Structure 1
Amino acid sequence: MFGGGDSRPPGQPGKQTLADLIRQETAARMTEREKWAALRKARVYFQRPEEPGFLVSETAEGGPLVPVFTSLEGFARFAGACGWASTTVEDLVGLLPEGVRALVDPLGERPFLLDAATLRDTEGADGG
């Protein structure tokens, strides 16, 4: 729902499905509080390292990041065949090491950074 998990059939870039239109309309009608509540429960997919934890990429400008994806298909386009894991966004930000943020859907139309402070700040701002 968030971050552009692409549900279009392969080979049809740019064409929107009815499901895409319904998701966009639903998201447009949601309050900020409803959007953040939905995001907390959203499932994300990421590459599973050999040892428990996350594969963290060091970036010059963004600091340490973990790429995560809102769809298994988006993850597969990014990482190819490999071990993977999934969890909710809320659990993800609780599990990330201090100072590490998640880059959600880095290959999508609207990638964004996510960390525990972001969820805390939005929760406090909307009274939740």
Structure 2
Amino acid sequence: MTSKISTTMLTKLKQVLGITGTEQDSLLQLVLETVCDEIFNYCNLDQMPVLLENVAVRMAADMWRSERYGSEQLPPAAKSVSRGDVSTSFDTKPIGDIRGVKDIVDNYKVQLQAFRKPRW
């Protein structure tokens, strides 16, 4: 079985996320494959239509950000700051309202619907 994703999709994902180098390529590939699997399952497809590749890249970027992949490179963030009697806490939820790949699929249903085939 051939890979579900093209090198073009990987390159586009890296551009969208501002990633250079190849250190994270295997993790990026995993994220793209996960998104493609979800697209295949939702749309009942065996192959990625060319017209869905950019949608898959955007979905993978959303997944990367919401699941905070690559965040091990970010400096630790303060969760609260105290100055005298004043204390401020910061929200540590994932970026945006996305909570997983199902929510990502739900956010892109309009684009995916055109490619959906009925199951028999």
Higher CA-based Rg: 2
User: Normalising by the residue count of structure 2, what TM-score does the alignment of the two structures yield?
Assistant: 0.28
Whichever structure has more helix as a proportion of its residues is 2
Whichever structure has more strand as a proportion of its residues is 1
